[in-house]
Amino acid sequence: MFDFSIATKWLHELLLSWMPGWAVTTVECLLIGVALLAVYALLALFYIFYERKLCAWFQCRLGPNRVGPWGLLQVFADMFKILIKELIPIKGTDKFLFGLAPYLVIIASMLVFACLPWGNGLQLVDFNVGLFFMTAASSIGVLGILLAGWASNSKYTLIGAMRSGAQMISYELSIGLAMLTMVVMTGTMSVSGIVNAQADGWLIFKGHLPACIAFVIYLIAATAETNRGPFDLPEAEHELTAGYHTEYSGIHFGFFYLAEYLNLFIVSGIASLLFLGGWMPLHIPGWDGFNAVMDYIPSVVWFLGKAFFVSFIIIWFKWSFPRLRIDQMLTLEWKYLMPIGLFNLVLMTLVVMTGFHF
């Protein structure tokens, strides 16, 4: 399997031969920033089209089919429409906080996005406490949503923000417990360390029942964390118009829209990292020929394929179940998911201590 660190080292040495060290660092940071923004925007456009087509399929419709072949250019038309729309000033708002909120949401999304392991040797940031950093960075988005609801000076946005804050803070606990369960099994919080621990098998297979329980808890909690159906009460159209971003227009609304879809990819990417091997190919012990064929598939393809698969499951949730009430949503977390997650964490600890895993 190709190691992308070879290409990055070659580029680094090439730049060093042309310019001093401080200039190389500056150029590399600029290149990484441009690449991140480009991939971020392209993935958001893909996910908008992806969900529209899946939604249409679930509801026996065609979906986008007019602008471009198979409706492929519809998302680009929507993007240009958002870019040229006017930013409408709202009377009575806190102008500074109103303008700051969408940037906090997009920055939180970008910080976590930069930590994902895209392939073999293709990871921008790798801390020894990588999972902790991703959890902490994602929490910044809650502040942006709460600021958006409060600064808009509207009862609809305030109620939506309060719902979202209660929901995201609650379900972060279950996500954290699911992550801790896999950290106990691998013995590291480093993103690269967790991926490398799955070279001989994905954790969802190696971890027996506790890993499967953690995977289910993570999927449910991640769906709620991203405010997606059936946990989309913060944006309930029949009650709150558009929820916490009702008063936003133009590119500011676009930031919320982009972050929502990219957060879907981010939680799917973290799920593939923790449970499905990240960029690691599928290997079956004793099947040397099969394993050799799997190694020919690029690591980036493995990671994206797993992320898209998890995203498909989360989208399937949205278009299969009715929206929950606020009391049902919080009851599910505090009375069921969190106690089960705590028990599962203890169970995984016992499994690791007894060596009862593959």
159 contact partners, CB below 8 Å, separation of at least 6: 149, 239, 240
pLDDT for 168-196, tens place per residue? 889 999 999 999 999 999 999 999 899 99
Express each pLDDT in 70-83 by its tens digit: 888 988 898 888 88
Taking the C-alpha atoms of residue 79 and residue 48, their distance in angstroms, rounded to an integer, is: 10
Residue 120, CA atoms < 13 Å, CB-side half-sphere = 15
Q: What sign for the dihedral angle of Cα 321, 323, 328, 330?
A: positive
pLDDT tops 70 at residue 237: no
Residues 6+ positions from 131 with CB-CB distance below 8 Å: 179, 183, 189, 191, 194
CB 336 within 8 A of CB 174: no
Residue 62's pLDDT is: 86
Mean pLDDT of the region 256-261: 87
Q: Could you report the per-residue pLDDT of 263-290, keeping only the tens digit for each? A: 999 999 999 999 998 899 988 877 888 8
Average pLDDT over the chain reads: 88
Backbone angles phi, psi at 18, to 5 degrees: -105, -30
CA-based nearest residue to 257, from 33, 45, 57, 37: 45
Rounded Cα–Cα distance for residues 198 and 309 (Å): 19
Tell me what pLDDT residue 182 has.
93
pLDDT for position 357: 65
- Secondary structure of the chain as H, E, C letters: CCCCHHHHHHHHHHHHCCCCHHHHHHHHHHHHHHHHHHHHHHHHHHHHHHHHHHHHHHCCCCCCCCCCHHHCCHHHHHHHHHHHCCCCCCCCCCHHHHHHHHHHHHHHHHHHHCCCCCECCECCCCCCCHHHHHHHHHCHHHHHHHHHHHHCCCHHHHHHHHHHHHHHHHHHHHHHHHHHHHHHHHCCCCHHHHHHCCCCCCHHHHCHHHHHHHHHHHHHHHHHHCCCCCCCHHHCHHHHCCHHHCCCCHHHHHHHHHHHHHHHHHHHHHHHHHHCCCCCCCCCCCCHHHHHHHHHCCHHHHHHHHHHHHHHHHHHHHCCCCCCCHHHHHHHHHHHHHHHHHHHHHHHHHHHHHCCCC
Q: How confident is the model at residue 301 (pLDDT cuts 50, 70, 90)?
A: very high
> Tokens 């929206």 map to which residue?
323
Nearest-Å Rg of the Cα atoms of the chain is: 21
Tell me what the mean pLDDT of segment 291-320 comes to.
91
pLDDT digits (tens, 9 = 90+) for 27-82: 888 988 899 889 988 998 899 999 999 989 888 888 888 888 888 898 889 888 88
Tens digit of pLDDT for each residue in 204-223?
A: 988 888 999 999 999 999 99
Label residue 239 by pLDDT band (50, 70, 90): low
Among the ranges given (6-15, 180-189, 302-311, 344-353), the one the predictor scored with the smallest mean pLDDT:
6-15
Q: Is 323 exposed, middle or buried (0-12, 13-18, 19+ CB in 10 A)?
A: middle
Which pair of tokens denotes residue 233?
Answer: 């009460």
Predicted local confidence at residue 207, as pLDDT: 81
Predicted local distance difference test score (pLDDT) of residue 300: 92
